[in-house]
Amino acid sequence: MYKILEKQPLNPTVTRMVIDAPRVAKKARAGMFIILRVDENGERIPLTIADYDGDKGTVTIIFQIVGATTHKLNMLNAGDCICDFVGPLGNPTELDGLKKVAVIGGGVGCAIAYPTAKALHQNGATVHSVIGFRNKDLVILRDEFDAVSDKLVLMSDDGSAGQKGLVTDALKTLIEQGNEYDEVIAIGPLVMMKFVCKLTEQYGIKTVVSMNPIMIDGTGMCGGCRLTVGGQMKFACVDGPDFDGHKVDFDEAIERGKMYAEFERHAYDKACNLFKAGK
């Protein structure tokens, strides 16, 4: 069992938890993920490691309440325990040799982008971060990004926070201002990453994306997390989650991501009704 040490709502649908998991924390690196089960009857869900402290033995996760399991997880509080917390899984983000990087985060994807920006900052790289949200009520980790970025640009669709527009607007401006990036790292909704990659391809800038498709076992055995990258089938859990964004078939990934949307909504509604009934 893994104890929840801290719980903090970041906005109405996103929660941060700090978990006592010393073995995971000891080997965790930016870009890696864990798979958890809330209880012994629960489903397995992957969550990217949002932060970690090897000395304290803690791992931070940030999740959006979108399905039955994340709803159930959000019902727990500090002092409660999670049944399973397996990891770290996947490959860490490759940061060696990078001197100047643009880190692009969209929505809850900022929870994945932040540890990468932090690791780059700790490595001495120049970090320009662009984070985007639909509106001011959904902004998360603004102060955390500010602390590890040489330049931070906040964007919102409606202009209620930072500048009005998309993350691609801000990235294009930064590039046209003469910033020469060794790499762009984009993490967020598939559509956002797709258009970031379309933009950077025009300028010949290497772009890495973090893919989070449907995943079950985290070992490559189930095949649920398969993607097409450069015309070849890859598994996000063992080959990724980071991939060359210019080679990812985003249209296929988007279609696959819709496969279980109706089932997830039904499971979420059922879980909500059970909690309301006190069962």
Per-residue pLDDT of the chain (279 residues; tens, 9 = 90+): 899 999 999 998 999 999 999 999 999 999 999 999 999 988 888 999 999 999 999 999 999 998 888 999 999 999 999 999 998 999 999 999 999 999 999 999 999 999 999 999 999 999 999 999 999 999 999 999 999 999 999 999 999 999 999 999 999 999 999 999 999 999 999 999 999 999 999 999 999 999 987 777 777 777 778 889 999 999 888 888 999 999 999 999 888 877 666 655 655 555 555 555 555
Residues 6+ apart with CB under 8 A from 185: 93, 101, 102, 103, 104, 113, 116, 207, 208, 209, 210
Q: What pLDDT score does 66 carry?
A: 86
241: Cβ–Cβ under 8 A, 6 or more apart, which residues? 31, 33, 48, 90, 91, 210, 211, 212
* pLDDT value of position 217: 73
pTM of this structure: 0.86
Please report the pLDDT score of residue 188 as a whole number. 93
User: 103 with 120: CB under 8 angstroms?
Assistant: yes
Q: Using alpha carbons, list the distances in angstroms from residue 273 to 63, 80, 109, 250, 276.
A: 21, 22, 28, 35, 5
pLDDT at 21: 96
Q: Could you give the CA distance from residue 16 to residue 4 in angstroms, rounded to a whole number? A: 10
Peptide bond into 213 cis (omega under 30): no
Domains and CATH numbers, the chain: 2-89 (2.40.30.10), 100-210 (3.40.50.80)
